[in-house]
């Protein structure tokens, strides 16, 4: 599911696999590059940032821990589609930390919400 620019949400096998990745080239490849992985349940984007909230998995084979919510943001750059460009990823943060950063930076709202993953 495209977000904006090279950023998209992907779930390989099941929805609980939902992760953020960066598209590379035109053949559909997507790189994690240290971006937040499963289980992302909401995301948002504007010209300056990509934001996500997730319930982490302690092991890939386990269900997401819905008692824990982690927040991240990615600082966007003009050359973000180039896989050689390093990403600035901030997180994980708890709700209080995220709300402070959101107010300070004007982070975007969560516009993609997957209620069944909350």
Model pLDDT for residues 78-96, shown as the tens digit of each residue: 999 888 899 999 999 999 9
Model pLDDT for residues 12-53, shown as the tens digit of each residue: 889 999 999 999 877 778 888 889 999 999 999 999 999 999
Domain total of the chain? 1
Would residue 104 count as lying in a domain? yes
With H, G, I as helix, E, B as strand and everything else as coil, classify residue 79.
coil
| CA 2/CA 29 separation, integer angstroms | 13
Would residue 118 count as lying in a domain? no
- Can you give the pLDDT at residue 32? 85
Would residue 27 count as lying in a domain? yes
With H, G, I as helix, E, B as strand and everything else as coil, classify residue 116.
helix
Contacts of 110 (CB under 8 A, 6+ apart): 42, 43, 44, 51, 53
- Can you give the pLDDT at residue 61? 79
Closest CA to 94 of 35, 44, 58, 54: 54
Q: Which domain holds residue 45?
A: 2-113
Would residue 88 count as lying in a domain? yes
Whether the Cβ atoms of residue 39 and residue 64 lie closer than 8 Å to each other: yes
């Amino acid at each position: 599911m495209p977000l904006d620019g090279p950023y998209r949400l992907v779930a390989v096998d099941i929805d609980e696999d939902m992760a953020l990745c960066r598209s590379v080239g035109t053949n559909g490849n997507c790189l994690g590059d240290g971006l937040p992985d499963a289980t992302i349940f909401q995301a948002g984007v504007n010209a300056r940032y990509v934001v996500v909230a997730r319930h982490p998995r302690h092991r890939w084979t386990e269900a997401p821990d819905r008692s824990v919510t982690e927040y991240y943001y990615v600082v966007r750059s003009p050359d973000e589609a180039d896989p050689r460009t390093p990403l600035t990823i901030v997180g994980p943060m708890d709700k209080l930390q995220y709300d402070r950063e959101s107010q300070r930076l004007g982070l975007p709202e969560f516009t993609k919400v997957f209620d069944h993953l909350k």
